[in-house]
Amino acid sequence: MITNFSEVFRLGPFQHHVDSFVDYVRAKRYAPESVALKKSIIMAFARWSQSQGVGIDNLSED
């Protein structure tokens, strides 16, 4: 679900996870406005993580 090609380069390995999350909440029938808000939040986190040098391999669900 890549909506903006330049996002892929900015988010790098995070993009797959962002797309999967968006697909998940859409499948759960969240309102489009909620999906957009949740996507913007997770993208902001991904950009922040990258700016802090925290790679995706350094993150876990714990």
Q: Give the CA diameter of the chain.
A: 34
Q: Considering Cα of 62, then 19, then 10, then 35, what sign does the dihedral take?
A: negative
Long-range contact pairs involving 49-57 (C-beta distance under 8 Å, separation at least 24):
49/14, 50/10, 50/11, 50/12, 50/14, 55/13, 56/13, 56/14, 56/17
What confidence tier does 4 reach under pLDDT thresholds 50, 70, 90?
Answer: low
Evaluate if residue 22 carries a pLDDT over 60: yes
The model's pTM? 0.71
Q: Give me the mean pLDDT over the 29-45 stretch.
A: 93
More confident residue, 23 or 14: 23
